[in-house]
Structure 1
Amino acid sequence: MSVSDTDKSQAFERWANLFATHKAFSHPSELHGALCGRLAAGGRLADRDWLALVCEHMGLPESAGAASEPLAAFMTEAYATTLEALKAADMSFQPLLPDDDYELAQRLQALSAWIRGFLEGMALEAGSALGSAPAEIRELIEDLVAISQVSEAEDDGEDSEHQLLEITEYVRLGALAVFTEYNPPEPPASQTVH
C-alpha cells in the first residue's frame, strides 16, 4: 500500500468514525461528494454555511455543528483539505471512498453515494447554468447519473475490481474537469524584483 492509499484509507475511516459517533443517517462519501460538487461548480462556503450543510447531511440539529468542537474542527479542516486537493497541480485529488479492504458491494455503494452528492452539490451551486455547460460537462453529468444508478456488481471477481477502479478513475478525472471548467486558475504569487 502506497502512502496515498494509506492516507485515503485513513481519511475514509476518520469520516466514517465521525459519522458513527454522531449516529449520522447518511454516507460520509455522499457528504464529501456534495462538498466537491459545490467547490467544482465554483462555489465557496463560509464556515457557518459548511457546518450547516454538514449537519443537514448527517441529520443533526444545526446547533450541533457549532456545539460539537471536534465535529466543527474536523469538518473545517476537511473543507480546506478538499479545496486544496481539487486545486492541486499534480491532480492528486481523490473522492472519499473506502479502500480495497471493504467488500466490492460496499465500495460500489460508496461510489454511488459520492456521485449522488457530487451531482447534488453541482446542481445547488450552478443551477440552471448547467444546461448551458460545455458539451463535455453535460456528457459527463449524464455518465455520472448512469454510474450512480448501478447498485451491484455482476460478480466479485477480478474483472469487477478492475471495472470499479476504471470507473472510479473516470469519476475522479470528471470531478477535476468540472473544477477546471468552473474555477479560473489562481494568479501566481507576485514576485517582486528589486
Structure 2
Amino acid sequence: MQSPAFLDGRLCALLALRDVSAEAWLDEVCQSLGVEQPRDPASAERLLGWRRQTLEALSASDLDYMPLLPDELFSLGEQAQGLKEWTLGFIEVVDEVADNELRERWSQALREALSDLEGLGRIDTDIDDSPENENDLFALTEHARMAAMLLYTEQHPGMPQVEQTDAPVH
C-alpha cells in the first residue's frame, strides 16, 4: 500500500500529463489500496474530491498548488520522507507517460526541474529537527511544488492565465 504523499505525487503528474479522469483516479487509488472499489459512496466522494481539489489548485491563476505532505505536527524526518514519497510517485508517472518526443518539447527549465526531482527521490530522510534542516526542507518542498506547476502549465498552455492584462476600454 502506498502513502497518501506517493499517491498525491502520482495524481499531480497524471493530471498534468494525462488529464486523468475521475473513474481512472478511483481505479488507481483502489488498486494501490488492494481493493476493488471504495467501501462506500462517501469514501469515493472523498477520493474524487482530492482529485478535484488538486486539479483546481494546479489550474488556478494564483498558483497555490501544495503537495499533500505531512505537516509540522510530524518530525522533520517524517516530513522529508513524505516529500521523498511524493517525488517518487510524481517521477514514476513522468517516467511511465512521457516519451522522448514529449520531453523534447519541454522547456529547459522544466527538464532541469524534473532532473532535480529525480535527485530529491534519493534524499536522506534521517534528519534532525533543526532550523537549518527545516529551512532546507521548505526549499526542497517549494522546488517540488514549482516543478509540478511548471509541468502542468507547460502541458496545458493558457491554464492558468497568470499573465492576463486588462483590455483597454474604448
Fold match by TM threshold 0.5: yes
Tell me how far apart the structure 2 counterparts of residues 45 and 152 of structure 1 sit (CA, whole Å): 30
Unaligned runs of 5+ in 2: 162-170
Cα gap change, 1:161/1:38 in structure 2, threshold over 3 Å: closer, same or farther? same
Cα gap change, 1:187/1:155 in structure 2, threshold over 3 Å: closer, same or farther? closer
1:12 corresponds to: none
The counterpart of 1:177, out of the listed 150, 157, 160, is 150
2:16 corresponds to: 40
- Indicate the RMSD between aligned Cα atoms, in angstroms: 1.9
Unaligned runs of 5+ in 1: 1-24, 189-194
The counterpart of 2:5, out of the listed 19, 29, 43, is 29
Point out the more displaced range, 125-134 or 26-35.
125-134
The counterpart of 1:136, out of the listed 98, 109, 120, is 109
Higher share of residues assigned helix: 1
1:49 corresponds to: 24
Amino acid of the residue matched to residue 135 of structure 1? Answer: Q
How far the C-alpha of 1:70 sits from its partner, in A, is 2.4
The counterpart of 2:61, out of the listed 89, 99, 102, is 89
Amino acid of the residue matched to residue 51 of structure 1? Answer: L
Tell me how far apart the structure 1 counterparts of residues 15 and 48 of structure 2 sit (CA, whole Å): 14
4+ residue runs over 4 A deviation: none
Amino acid of the residue matched to residue 108 of structure 1? Answer: A
Tell me how far apart the structure 2 counterparts of residues 47 and 68 of structure 1 sit (CA, whole Å): 16
How far the C-alpha of 1:50 sits from its partner, in A, is 1.1
How far the C-alpha of 1:110 sits from its partner, in A, is 0.2
Identical pairs, percent: 31
TM-score scaled to structure 1, two decimals?
0.75
How far the C-alpha of 1:156 sits from its partner, in A, is 2.1
The counterpart of 2:73, out of the listed 101, 112, 121, is 101
How far the C-alpha of 1:186 sits from its partner, in A, is 4.9
Tell me how far apart the structure 1 counterparts of residues 160 and 51 of structure 2 sit (CA, whole Å): 22
1:20 corresponds to: none
Tell me how far apart the structure 2 counterparts of residues 77 and 154 of structure 1 sit (CA, whole Å): 33
